[in-house]
């Protein structure tokens, strides 16, 4: 299976000065397209301290100059791996428009105020689900999971405030590299990567851009 990509050149002169600004441009473009389903879906890759990787798809919930934020159960596999080895890679696979964004960076938990503010925006059922599921743990059956959910639904009806689970919250991925990939014919893709400059190279945080061979 093979496909030729017919797209416009991605040139260094067209990039924003900051990778998060460039990401905002591409994200807005992907979100405006009807053929990109869930443009905020991203693959999060983590690893244990001894280098055993795992990956899964989650939803990006916020991004700003700091980086990328998603929410999860801290006791899940990804939560445990990020606690023990606080580095991750993100991949946004926008296949219909022949674009990808690949991020590597350090990871830290967001503050509880930020977590609580987001939790309050979730649908009631999703709030209950955060309590019902001991994510990544082995369970006996789906019936067991549904019974736990129904128990919580009875305890916290629709008009009842659901407390934020202490084991649930956000992670912020602070980028160290951000690669913008644009597909082209004959596999001569554009790959432009922002790399965070060390503080020793100048005042404040700056970025250099390098072109990678496809």
**Residues 6 or more apart from 18 whose CB is under 8 A from it?**
65, 207
Parallel, antiparallel or unpaired: strands 41-47 and 53-59: antiparallel
Catalytic-role residue among 52, 112, 120, 187: 187
**Residues 6 or more apart from 20 whose CB is under 8 A from it?**
63, 64, 65, 67, 175, 178
Q: What separation, in Å, do the N-terminal and C-terminal C-alpha atoms of the chain show?
A: 19
Tokens coding 186: 């004959």
Across-strand partners of 169? 72
Tokens coding 86: 């606080």
Across-strand partners of 40? none
Integer Cα distance of 21 and 192 in angstroms? 14
211 is catalytic: no
- CB atoms under 10 Å from CB of 169, counted, come to 22
**Residues 6 or more apart from 62 whose CB is under 8 A from it?**
68, 69, 118
| Active-site amino acid positions | 187
């Amino acid at each position: 299976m093979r496909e030729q990509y017919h797209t416009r050149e991605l040139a260094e002169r067209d990039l924003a000065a900051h990778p998060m600004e460039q990401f905002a441009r591409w994200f807005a473009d992907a979100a405006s397209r009807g053929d990109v389903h869930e443009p905020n879906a991203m693959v999060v890759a983590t690893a244990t301290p001894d280098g055993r990787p795992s990956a899964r798809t989650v939803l990006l919930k916020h991004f700003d100059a700091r980086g990328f934020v998603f929410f999860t159960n801290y006791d899940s596999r990804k939560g445990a791996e990020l606690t023990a080895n606080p580095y991750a890679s993100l991949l946004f696979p926008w296949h219909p428009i022949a674009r990808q964004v690949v991020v590597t960076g350090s990871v830290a938990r967001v503050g509880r105020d930020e977590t609580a503010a987001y939790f309050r925006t979730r649908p009631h059922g999703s709030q209950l689900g955060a309590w019902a599921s001991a994510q990544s743990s082995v369970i006996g059956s789906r019936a067991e999971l549904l019974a736990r959910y129904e128990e919580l639904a009875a305890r916290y009806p629709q008009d009842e405030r659901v407390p934020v689970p202490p084991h649930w919250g956000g992670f912020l991925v602070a980028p160290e590299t951000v690669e913008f990939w644009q597909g082209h014919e004959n596999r001569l893709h554009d790959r432009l990567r922002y790399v965070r400059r060390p503080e020793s190279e100048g005042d404040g945080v700056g970025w250099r851009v390098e072109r990678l061979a496809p």
